[in-house]
Chain A
């Protein structure tokens, strides 16, 4: 593969050169494969049982749309506040508990949204300990004697989702703040900015792509959440999708709502991209001057500690404590050998899906880099991230349709040709679940890998290629080592996401097959959280470990680059 001609990696190529065509077609192949389920849902949308729009528009559609917008905006704002605020504090200042908060702020990420919703309902409803204590304290008798905020409400849903989703924003923003060259900030201070101005006018704009990716992930997670909104009786579009599908027996109509939601998501993301199209920052990943966090004193230090403590307390410590308490009181009834099998199912599925989706994301991101001028490819790569914005059960149907069609086609062929039946090869196997995970979470790995790779300056490619390395060699010897941190981050985030995934897992699983999440669902859906506490706790614990590793690797990456 050695040649002396330097192919400028970022230059427009009219025809893919034969030796690079591999990357080009691999990226297309992956993008198409991952797009299949989304396309299947579009296909479903072509055959509604009846037109639902007249009915929806004249009745509940406005409520659905407004509620969904309120939900997304609420969760986005609250997550930005918690995520960006705490990321800025732990990066720029030192205050009591800072070292701890650096990684603890990621912990709520390990708690599934449906679990946190159950936990807080148990705590805050009338019969729960909080209101019980208040009644005992003030001598109130019934619910008519006093006012207490209703957890089962839009506000409650916003709070619950923000608590478990802000870590996305924290994670990406903190990485972005850490990567920023200190000299930029120093320059801004020398030019007369105070700390706030320097943050607002220099650091924040540079971190904006990362924040934007974080917010879009949070928004998509919010859009496809059903567990929480269903439990709190919040009338979002997703509730409308399930209502149309299950209660009105109109799957096509439901697919239409889901497809429209996707269009909406695409518009949002496109708008955001256009807004920052003019900004590009490269930095050659070396030579940072050491970041000296400024030491906070007195009230400032206390405020910073409290600000960072709140999300950790509400998003992790409280649910973890309650689950532990439930689990310990039922331990003898709960523990069985089966748990090891659920845990190992969860673990192997999630790990396979995580590794696979990172590998695919690398191929996509690198092909994008090599063929940055090819609009169609860029579009295909973006399209392949859409599975993330689809409600899980709908996506599961989108997975079933192409897999079952493939199975049945193979079976037909084998019957006709060899008079033997192959039955279902892929449907109802763990392959279907892993495929669904990859489709669903490719947005996450794509975002992380792509943003890491885009920070590597093109001069690296030029240097490597002019020294005779092939495209693949450049990726393996130059890029991958440089973006190791980003890859690790993506891997761990997708892993934890898969551990928590519920709706698609339920529908696609093989016979007699449980994961921790499906086991939790079995009892939680029947209002017996205490019986599923142990499994929920295991999801959290298995999720916590990668989260801690994640945080350490990010901190380490900073130290290495300082060395």
Chain B
């Protein structure tokens, strides 16, 4: 007994002493849903310019809940996300605080930030249609609505309807029409699928290249990632087999989503947090931040990367208030269940 107690005590002590508690003075702490390798270069640049040390935790889920339960003692200053969904959820839970920053208000268009300043978009991407160069004529598909047209029967590929990118698109269809229309549209789209939804966005484009389908839904930045992929050169061929279609250019514009950031309710380093977001929204960082992931800068007038200029130059973006789409994601998710989209 005694020895097992000693063992326990010793173990606990060793653990406690290895625990690293951030306690430097000049720093900023980030809970990030975005992968470290995508943001590390910029964060290093920020530290170099300002002398502020950046601390990072990344995860695919659960950080929102960690922030919530840590409450006022949470060390996190910034919640950084790869899309608008978690930012919206965090504002709903009251985890983010309003930021009044002239630099941010001037640098980021209204439709890419929260009207109350609780979150700011930093990069933007569109959900577009990848169409086979060989089997789809230019102008043959023009809108998201067209995807439900029976002429495409057995010719469309997409990843799971439950994936957040698709839910966000379905939410926007609900917002622009209504739930009943969206359900019908989703049923029509399902009837046109060439195969059960599976894989990720890139593998849909690959399926087009392989002749499994003629149209695929995917986020715009994957095109850049495939076209410049030196690790797996075969991905260049996938990208070269498709044309990019930015839908609904004659009406509302292509569906957009953002990656962004917000300052937490109890940020211990609030000033530094605002500094970092301003840095990320500034001209210099905007170019790099967007380019790292082949995304679009949110800041008007920021030059696009050469690749984006060549393939995605000028298109009309849907400017709907992203906060409107927030609560519609759950509705979209239930629609996906209802029409058995993934079955």
Q: Residues on A close to B: CB < 8 A?
A: 22-23, 26, 55-56, 59-60, 63, 125-127, 141-144, 150, 152, 232-233, 235, 239, 242-243, 245-251, 330, 348, 352, 355-356, 359, 362-363, 393, 396-397, 400-401, 404-405, 407-408, 411, 421, 423-424, 426-431, 434, 471-472, 476, 503, 506-513, 521-523, 525-528, 530-531
Given contacts A400-B66, A506-B59, A526-B35, is CB(A511)–CB(B29) below 8 Å?
Answer: yes
Q: How far, in whole Å, are A26 and B203 apart by their CA atoms in the complex? A: 54
B65–A400 touching, CB < 8 Å? yes
Identity of the chain A residue whose Cβ is nearest the Cβ of B11 in the assembled complex: A356
For B4, the chain A residues whose CB sits under 8 A away are: 359, 362-363
Find out whether the CB atom of B75 lies under 8 angstroms from the CB atom of A424.
yes
**B19 engages A427 (CB within 8 Å):** no
- The stretch of B104-112, B160-168, B314-322 in contact with A is B160-168
Give 15 new A-B contacts, CB below 8 A, not counting A56-B337, A352-B11, A421-B73. A60-B337, A63-B343, A144-B211, A235-B342, A245-B61, A348-B18, A400-B62, A400-B69, A400-B70, A427-B66, A506-B62, A507-B61, A511-B29, A511-B56, A527-B202
B20 touches A510 (CB 8 A): yes
B60 sits at the interface (CB 8 A): yes
Known: A247-B329, A523-B37. A507 touches B7 (CB 8 A): no
Q: Which residues of B contact A348 (CB under 8 A)?
A: 18
Q: How many residues of B contact A (CB 8 A)?
A: 69
Interface SS of chain A: helix, strand, loop or mixed?
A: helix
Pick from B18, B71, B160: contact of A430, CB below 8 A. Answer: B18
Most interface-central of A127, A407, A408, A472 (chain B CB within 10 A): A127
What A residues does B66 contact at CB under 8 A?
A: 400, 404, 427-428, 507-508
Q: Which of B61, B159, B203, B210 contacts A142 (CB 8 A)?
A: B210
CB of B330 within 8 A of CB of A247, answer yes
Closest Cβ neighbor of A23 among chain B residues:
B1
User: Which B residues are CB-close (under 8 A) to A434?
Assistant: 15
Please tell me if the beta carbons of B197 and A233 are within 8 angstroms of each other in the complex: yes
Task: Considering the complex, give the chain B residue whose CB is closest to the CB of A333.
Answer: B231
Please tell me if the beta carbons of A233 and B160 are within 8 angstroms of each other in the complex. Answer: yes
Q: List 15 A-B contacts (CB under 8 A).
A: A22-B1, A142-B210, A246-B164, A248-B334, A249-B329, A396-B62, A397-B62, A397-B65, A404-B66, A408-B72, A507-B61, A507-B62, A511-B75, A522-B36, A525-B60
Interface residues of B, Cβ cutoff 8 Å to A: 1-4, 7-8, 11-12, 14-16, 18-22, 29, 35-37, 55-63, 65-66, 69-75, 89, 92, 159-160, 162, 164, 167, 196-200, 202-203, 206-207, 210-212, 231-232, 234, 329-330, 333-334, 337-338, 340, 342-343
Q: Which chain B residues lie closer than 8 Å to A405 at the CB level? A: 69
- Write the nearest CB–CB distance from B279 to chain A, whole angstroms: 19
Residue of B nearest to A410 (CB): B73
Question: Taking each of B167, B198, B343, which has the highest tally of chain A beta carbons within 10 Å of its own beta carbon?
Answer: B198
B272 → A minimal CB distance (Å):
14
| Across the A-B interface, the 7 shortest Cβ-Cβ residue pairs | A429-B19, A142-B211, A511-B55, A507-B62, A59-B337, A404-B69, A506-B59
Q: Verify A250–B200 contact, CB threshold 8 A.
A: no
Q: Is the CB of A522 within 8 A of B35?
A: yes
Taking CB atoms, residues of chain A closer than 8 Å to B162 are: 239, 243, 247
Is the CB–CB distance between A143 and B57 below 8 Å?
no
Are A472's CB and B1's CB within 8 A?
Answer: yes
Complex: how many Å from CA A513 to CA B55? 9
List the A residue with the shortest CB-CB distance to B167. Answer: A247
Chain B positions within 8 Å of A428 at CB level? 21, 57, 66, 70, 75
Tell me which residues across on chain A come within 8 A of B37, comparing CB atoms.
522-523
A401 to B71, CA, bound (A): 11
Instruction: Considering the complex, give the chain A residue whose CB is closest to the CB of B195.
Output: A150
Q: For residue B14, which residues in chain A have a CB less than 8 angstroms away from its CB?
A: 352
Chain B neighbourhood of A531, CB < 8 A? 231
Question: Which of B61, B159, B234 has the largest number of chain A CB atoms within 10 A?
Answer: B61
A57, B338: Cα distance in complex, Å: 11
- Residues of chain B contacted by A249 (CB below 8 angstroms): 89, 92, 329-330
Inter-chain CA distance A446–B15, complex, in Å, is 22
Q: Which residues of B contact A352 (CB under 8 A)?
A: 11, 14-15
Q: A233-B197, A430-B15, A530-B232 are in contact. Are A243 and B333 (CB under 8 A)?
A: yes
Report yes or no: B337 in contact with A429, Cβ–Cβ below 8 A: no
Given A60-B337, A352-B11, A530-B232, are A510 and B57 neighbors across the interface (CB < 8 Å)?
yes
Taking CB atoms, residues of chain A closer than 8 Å to B343 are 63, 235
B74 touches A424 (CB 8 A): yes
Q: How far is the CA of A245 from the CA of B69 in the complex (A)?
A: 16
Contacts of B203 in A (CB 8 A): 125
CB distance from A306 to the nearest CB of B (A): 33
Q: How far is the CB of A234 from chain B (nearest CB, A)?
A: 10
Chain A residues within an 8 Å CB radius of B56: 511-512
Chain B residues contacting A143 (CB-CB under 8 Å) are 207, 210-212
Task: Enumerate chain A residues within 8 angstroms of B62, measured Cβ to Cβ.
Answer: 393, 396-397, 400, 503, 506-507
Contact B15 A431 (CB under 8 A): yes
Contact B15 A408 (CB under 8 A): no
Q: Are B337 and A511 in contact (CB under 8 A)?
A: no
Contact, CB under 8 Å: A528 / B231: yes
Q: Tell me the smallest distance from the CB of B171 to a CB of chain A, in Å.
A: 10
Give min CB distance, A489 to chain B, whole Å.
19
